[in-house]
Amino acid sequence: MYNLRRLAVLRELKYRGTLAAVASAMSYSPSAVSQQLTLLESEVGARLLEREGRGVRLTPQAEILVARTEKALRELERAEAEIAASLREVSGTIRVAAFQTAMLALMPVALTWLRENHPRTRVEASQAEPHTSLPGLLTRDFDLVIDETFPGHAPPARASEFEHYLLCEDAMRLATPAPVVSLADLAERPWVMEPAGTPARAWATAVCHAAGFEPDVAYVSADMLVHARLVEQGHAVAFLPDMLWFDRAPGVILDGSASHTRTVLATVRAGAGEHPLIQTFLTAIRHAIGELPARTG
């Protein structure tokens, strides 16, 4: 039988790309990683790595092993969930990544609920956008990711690797310093948007295109508080999420129609969704969502 720890090293190499990155993630030295892979090749009786430029790539035989390792790890995750469910009290550490407004509006309330109801749970939370945090699920840097999708700009489905839980729909409202009649009236105004290549930027640009113009993106930031400040001071217009106003009244004019929304999801690895820690954290986040103020523009 192949050594599971060595198979896990091979799997890490597939997702992290270099021996140095694997060593850092698994607290090995690079030479120890290389040794583990050499021993695995001896066990398998086939070459698993080939030189490619300055790096390496997995052989077809290695890809077979990684695919089977994924299935084995999912079964072990299900076993871990079943054992945790058999215990009386929820306890342990869950590593979470969340985008900025979820980190601001939801995480503190969820942490308070957990402290009061499940004091033996520990949350390690990182602010990260979905395009960087979702790969972290596969490398097991995170156990749960709070991510967002936009109409027409959802990421490719990876049903075999992820499980998704719908948390809420969050309105994305046109935000302006002064009232406007329609989106098309803003064709000549400067915009603030998220960086190019992000789903939020692609969605916002597509909405402007549908209104008949190319937006003049003068300001770029992944920080929604920066977006709001630029609009408040009259320097830009933007699309801002309702979740941003969790603790204050908007200082901008918001479109009251709420005709655009983003979907807020919790995503976990396939097989992990029934773990009590995951389910308890989902309950905490849903409690936090229930505490958000109603917004009608």
Note the pLDDT of residue 297.
46
Note the pLDDT of residue 132.
83
For the beta carbon of residue 224, count every other beta carbon within 10 angstroms.
Answer: 21
What is this structure's pTM?
0.73
Note the pLDDT of residue 98.
97
Give 4-21 as a 3 state SS string.
Answer: HHHHHHHHHHHHHCCHHH
Tens of pLDDT, residues 60-70: 888 888 888 88
Segments in the chain below pLDDT 70 = 84-88, 153-160, 295-297
What is the Cα–Cα distance from 54 to 77, expressed in whole angstroms? 35
74 in Cβ contact with 68 (< 8 Å): no
